[in-house]
Amino acid sequence: MFVLHFLLAAGSLSTLTFAAPHLSHFGHSAFHSKRTSGSTYTVYAGNGETSAGWPDQSAWTSSLDTMFDNNHAILNASCTQWGVPNNSEDEIKDLKAAVQEVAKSTGIDERFIFAITLQESNGCVRAPTTAYSHANPGLMQSNQGTGTCNSGTSVLNPCPKSQIVQMITDGAAGTAAGDGLKQGIAQAGCSDVSKYYKAARIYNSGSIAAGGNLGGGVATHCYCSDIANRLTGWSAGTSKCDPNTIGTMNGSGSSSGGGASGVASATGGAATATLSGGAFAQTSSTSTSTSTSTSTSTSTTTATVATVPVASGTGSPGSPYSFGTGSGTTTAVVPSGTATSSGGAYAEGSKCTSPGSWNCIGGTSFQRCSNNQWSTVMQLSEGTTCTPGEVAAIDIYAAKSSAGVKPRRVRDAREIPTPVPRARAFPVAS
């Protein structure tokens, strides 16, 4: 869905700067149909069909069990960006069981449901509710769903399995207020594997751009390419998808994980969370690619950073998630005052009195109150804006409306360079 990925999670750990991929690296004839390694990212462009280089279902990770194993480091650290408790092992088990249960009841491939969940929230069971024209809660940032373990006013720990099942049900089966993956697959109007990639685009932005290019239209342009990569094994490193060019490309090309992003692959069990899903508001930041501040830095003076795939945000490719390298700590200076800059931004780490509230600055950037401290200022992705001022639930919406395009909350953190993305994301995918 249109997600506001927070650079705090799944690719929203700190402000990262990602270089745009060189188109010459993505030969249109270099199509790939094999599974990739965890840090390898293949840019997929076009209409989602295998003839355009998109992976066939046989190229997806063989099982949900394997996907969970590959993304375990991300699941362990995915809530850090929001300043809430990370998933426990029991909650991760409940999440897998919920995906399997809902996949069976809806007839949707369980791997696809999990890939969308990662893109939207990096699998954080306590992902916050984001808002566009309406609320998008939970693991899948559903359309006004009832499932959530973080309403904005209360955080459930542990998160009951019943709520986890409801969050997955809301996103996969749809809600009384809006469509889910099941309806998106039906709207795709085809029976081949492209129905999943097209459904991902519909879930993220409400429609497919005229002409059928899944990287075009509004919302998170790299959303579908990220989903295809998650399905084929991408679980570490940075997304090589460039949201500024993906809508003009047609075909696929691979790029190994160490690229220009500078985001380290997960090692030693440390995961890098990236913002690229619905709960991450990707921001294009000006800080270095080694991310030194995350949502965790707003609550503690010393925060251990992990690394996960970071999804791409606006203007540059991201990765599935990025939580740092896990090999050291970063020190955050906590100002003692609450003074604001002339632009209406609060000093990072300064005191705030309404936990969970947001501060939209000039309609182009934002920060959040977590653990009684203001987070770093994060930029909104190109083409999106927010209503200036402090609010309980930030409202991020498209700055320009497109005829025939169904309004949706910006759900992917990718559009706001993340990795961990416009109100949603993990590994940081583009």
pLDDT, tens digit (0-9, with 9 covering 90-100), for 180-214: 999 999 999 999 999 999 999 999 999 999 999 99
Q: What is the pLDDT of residue 344?
A: 85
Q: What is the pLDDT of residue 394?
A: 73
Q: What is the per-residue pLDDT across 212-245, written as a single tens digit (0 to 9) for each? A: 999 998 889 999 999 999 999 999 878 889 998 9
Q: What is the pLDDT of residue 304?
A: 28
Residue with tokens 């209360």: 154
* Residues sharing a CB contact under 8 Å with residue 85, sequence separation 6 or more, in sequence order: 79, 126, 155, 157
Q: What is the pLDDT of residue 303?
A: 27
Q: What is the pLDDT of residue 132?
A: 64
Distances 194 to 109, 187, 213 between C-alpha atoms, Å: 13, 12, 12
CA angle 269, 275, 276 (to 5 degrees): 120
Q: Are 9 and 124 in contact (CB under 8 A)?
A: yes
Residue 251: strand, helix, or coil = strand
Report field, pTM of the whole predicted structure over 0.85: no
Q: What is the pLDDT of residue 340?
A: 46
pLDDT below 70 — which residues of the chain? 1-37, 132-133, 252-343, 379-384, 395-430
Q: Are 363 and 341 in contact (CB under 8 A)?
A: no
